[in-house]
Chain A
């Protein structure tokens, strides 16, 4: 059933929110043991919430736009009375004491929060293997990583354990698992969604976004969570578009007249099988009225070093509060290798004697990358290409840090530039999903939703 149809049926009391929730709960009971998508499920408050929504619908009262939709939240976003662990031993006993702004908004729109999803420890990874609570399986390609860091949220949607889920994206943490699991994942423009309540990885890159199995779900969730928050200084004060209006059901393609840029370097770094599928998808879009132009981006080699230097330094700063005094464990004493590597490197390169050499240089490089990307986007509606240059590797494969980081090369650019980006499923290589990425100008989030909806339509996903 299409999500918007389901939403309508719930609001018309033809099916109940409770039915919807029970269906997912059964699925979670059956499958979460296999996939480990959720770290914590809190069924009773969810049942109360569903019953309340149903009774209000029955009484003819107005309900929110997410009425009855079941939502999973990544474990690094504060939800009152849930364990906000960031999948780390550091916070294994930490209970959220307040709702993040996005969570408040989801609750206000009558979304039903069912539980907290698995992730890479402190979101520092792209495989969800580094979780203190065990890895998450990829339902689309069993035995392979689901991607990360928001692997649990992607899998929760991919394995139909909830309607929608929320993740965070610092260098691809939403788009990467969306690509590997064959679902949709959207990273909004930096500042479009409040980070109040999101545990930090790298504050100047972090952005909360959503997963769904269809564009309508993305649109619904973006409408819910986006918008100015006076309690979060980096949010933008703007008129949030009505994303659901982009979801047209008639045959007229919403792709017609769109101009897409194809950056050749993004293809050069990607595996052949992936390139084939993305090129096929682009051909298909061209046949449906999209104009494609070739672009060139000369700074691709600069992106990963710039991204990681800033990430290390900001993460080092963000983790100073985990000093063992308030939350039980000192982070350095209990965390995994990747988190420790980032803290140590961040501490090292932010020393006074090096600050000019590394961190300030990285900030300059970021400005340059932002400028160049803005230039590329000037004459197109969006840039199109692969989301991840490689297929998800087998769980347990040991990788050098540089091999691991190479998975992020195509996703970090949107975070460096602060632009919106999303991944949709383009096809499969040997049954393993491959994602296609759209990237657009700041605050052109609606164009991406439009493209996702159009893409969905022509591919009959």
Chain B
């Protein structure tokens, strides 16, 4: 199979694309972020396009490796009749960038659009708070060969968008996917609102088409809608399918040209795209690709990693940041940024581990204390009495001593009483003042008792 995607995500701006209304449409009371421009009342004309939105779109296009159009670009009117569209047309730009690439998938076109309002048939209202919020649309070539590949691409794309700082996340995503399988015709699926939805829609459609082919039924070219609640696709009404948008250049908006200086300035200031950063981490720091991917999943985490490795062995740092740091942050349902953990704290902690001042177990316990905590790990270790790693010989000595001094527990152990082992571990911990690693102690005790 071959599949291509058209993904819309909201751009992150304070004000709308063609007026000064705010964009916090979800928090605001219905129809409170509106004016005559975004309501498209009679006589209203768009203000000049929001520069932050245009720059954000150029930045994202650059991060996706696109060539920014050297020609003038302009907004077109795409006409259709729906309650959420207050003007009867949607303003959508011609491509501002093309010929990009992400993860081996070619990017055909990146452009800007305005979001329509939200029609809420259940409430019988249209909420125009969303009307006029800038969207970026990214169109790929049909380069994905399975639902899994499409899912992988989408995850990567959302990561790039989040990295850019100029787009909102998966929560504002709307996607159309097109799919064609060998022997069939191209089908387009609309109304997809999540990565999971895209995956499910493609999977359903692939199986549906294969079954039709197996039964000797010809597949027709059609547009289908994805029903998120049932995870199936259904044919769209013919009228919607045959719609002619009657595109015309919007006479109210003059042509735009992205000057070279502006493009170069954005290029200089833009964050390194995550997929390129991943490859660089592998190359530069010698860490493995999976680790690099996890670490570059969040820009702040990747930046912290680059700080940390100025002082700590990159492989060691990668291991700890990928596993334990990520685990703690994830457990607390935070992003790394929200956890407020600093590179200095990580360095402090990893240094103690490298210098064998604390055990791995103690390290994990300290890590758990770090979110939203300004204390340094060495201080936390001190307070918790975790400083000092005991030499294996000392633990071994303590093991022997515990076995010798507690014959009752030993015989209980041979009789299969589980508590006996815990008691003996406790004795070893007491003898080493808590610095022995319990797991390690358990193993040492077992082998001691076997002989």
Give the B-binding residues of A (Cβ under 8 A). Answer: 76-78, 84, 86, 91, 94, 97-98, 100, 195-200, 202-204, 230-234, 313-314, 316-317, 319-321, 323, 325-327, 347, 350-352, 355, 359
B45 and A195 within 8 A (CB)? yes
B46 and A233 within 8 A (CB)? yes
A233 and B86 within 8 A (CB)? no
B74 to chain A, nearest CB (A): 11
Q: With CB as the reference atom, state the residue of chain A lying closest to B39.
A: A326
The stretch that binds A, out of B102-110, B247-255, B316-324, B413-421, is B247-255
From A77, A200, A233, A355, residue with most partner B Cβ within 10 Å? A233
SS class of chain B's interface: helix, strand, loop or mixed?
loop
- Known contacts A98-B36, A233-B48, A359-B248: does B79 contact A84 (CB below 8 Å)? no
Residues on the A chain within 8 Å of B89, using CB = 317, 320
A198 and B43 within 8 A (CB)? yes
Residues on the B chain within 8 Å of A355, using CB = 246-248
Cα–Cα, bound, A313→B77 (Å): 12
3 A-B pairs with least C-beta separation: A320-B88, A203-B251, A204-B251
Which single member of A98, A231, A347 contacts B246 (CB below 8 Å)?
A347
Residues on the B chain within 8 Å of A326, using CB = 86
A199 and B48 within 8 A (CB)? no
B88 and A321 within 8 A (CB)? yes
- B227 at interface (Cβ–Cβ under 8 A)? no
Residues on the A chain within 8 Å of B148, using CB = none
CB contact list, B183-241 vs A, under 8 A: none
Residues on the A chain within 8 Å of B354, using CB = none
- B47 at interface (Cβ–Cβ under 8 A)? yes
B248 and A233 within 8 A (CB)? no
Residues on the A chain within 8 Å of B252, using CB = 195, 203, 233-234
From A76, A199, A320, A355, residue with most partner B Cβ within 10 Å? A320
A231 and B86 within 8 A (CB)? no
A196 and B44 within 8 A (CB)? yes
Residues on the A chain within 8 Å of B253, using CB = 233
A86 and B42 within 8 A (CB)? yes
A317 and B248 within 8 A (CB)? yes
B42 and A321 within 8 A (CB)? yes
Residues on the A chain within 8 Å of B45, using CB = 195-197, 231-234
CB contacts between A and B, total, < 8 Å: 87
- B40 at interface (Cβ–Cβ under 8 A)? yes
Residues on the A chain within 8 Å of B93, using CB = none
Residues on the B chain within 8 Å of A196, using CB = 43-45
Which single member of B36, B83, B86 contacts A97 (CB below 8 Å)?
B36
From B81, B87, B251, residue with most partner A Cβ within 10 Å? B251
A91 and B42 within 8 A (CB)? yes
Which single member of B36, B41, B44, B81 contacts A323 (CB below 8 Å)?
B81
B251 and A197 within 8 A (CB)? no
Cα–Cα, bound, A319→B252 (Å): 14
Given contacts A319-B88, A320-B79, 12 further A-B contacts (CB under 8 A): A86-B42, A199-B43, A234-B252, A314-B248, A316-B246, A317-B79, A321-B87, A321-B88, A350-B246, A352-B244, A352-B246, A355-B248
18 A-B residue pairings within 8 Å (CB atoms): A84-B42, A98-B41, A195-B45, A197-B45, A198-B43, A204-B251, A232-B45, A233-B48, A233-B254, A313-B248, A317-B77, A320-B79, A320-B87, A321-B86, A326-B86, A352-B244, A352-B247, A355-B246
From B40, B42, B77, B87, residue with most partner A Cβ within 10 Å? B42
Q: 1/0 contact trace for B330-342 toward A, CB 8 Å?
A: 0000000000000
B104 to chain A, nearest CB (A): 33
Cα–Cα, bound, A234→B254 (Å): 6
Residues on the A chain within 8 Å of B248, using CB = 313-314, 317, 350, 355, 359
A61 to chain B, nearest CB (A): 32
Residues on the A chain within 8 Å of B46, using CB = 233
Which single member of A78, A203, A230, A325 contacts B42 (CB below 8 Å)?
A78
A230 and B36 within 8 A (CB)? no
Cα–Cα, bound, A78→B87 (Å): 17
CB contact list, B338-358 vs A, under 8 A: none
Cα–Cα, bound, A274→B339 (Å): 83
A96 to chain B, nearest CB (A): 8
Cα–Cα, bound, A19→B248 (Å): 51
Residues on the B chain within 8 Å of A94, using CB = 42
B43 and A100 within 8 A (CB)? yes
A351 and B244 within 8 A (CB)? yes
Cα–Cα, bound, A200→B40 (Å): 12
Cα–Cα, bound, A424→B87 (Å): 38
- Known contacts A234-B252, A320-B89, A359-B248: does B83 contact A197 (CB below 8 Å)? no
Cα–Cα, bound, A215→B254 (Å): 32
Residues on the B chain within 8 Å of A327, using CB = 42
A360 to chain B, nearest CB (A): 10
Cα–Cα, bound, A326→B42 (Å): 11
B43 and A230 within 8 A (CB)? no
Cα–Cα, bound, A341→B84 (Å): 27
Cα–Cα, bound, A197→B244 (Å): 29
Residues on the A chain within 8 Å of B41, using CB = 97-98
Q: With CB as the reference atom, state the residue of chain A lying closest to B41.
A: A97
Residues on the B chain within 8 Å of A323, using CB = 81, 88
B49 to chain A, nearest CB (A): 8
Residues on the B chain within 8 Å of A98, using CB = 36, 41
Cα–Cα, bound, A233→B47 (Å): 6
A290 to chain B, nearest CB (A): 36
Residues on the B chain within 8 Å of A233, using CB = 45-48, 252-254
B43 and A197 within 8 A (CB)? yes
CB contact list, B165-197 vs A, under 8 A: none
Cα–Cα, bound, A78→B252 (Å): 17
Residues on the A chain within 8 Å of B245, using CB = 352
A231 and B40 within 8 A (CB)? no
CB contact list, B73-107 vs A, under 8 A: 77, 79, 81, 83, 86-89
A100 to chain B, nearest CB (A): 6
Q: 1/0 contact trace for B36-67 toward A, CB 8 Å?
A: 10001111111110000000000000000000
Residues on the B chain within 8 Å of A347, using CB = 246
Cα–Cα, bound, A224→B81 (Å): 39
A197 and B81 within 8 A (CB)? no
B43 and A77 within 8 A (CB)? yes
Cα–Cα, bound, A355→B76 (Å): 14
Residues on the A chain within 8 Å of B42, using CB = 78, 84, 86, 91, 94, 199, 321, 327
CB contact list, B260-315 vs A, under 8 A: none
B305 to chain A, nearest CB (A): 45
Residues on the B chain within 8 Å of A319, using CB = 88
Q: With CB as the reference atom, state the residue of chain A lying closest to B87.
A: A321
Residues on the B chain within 8 Å of A86, using CB = 42
Q: With CB as the reference atom, state the residue of chain A lying closest to B47.
A: A231
B86 to chain A, nearest CB (A): 6
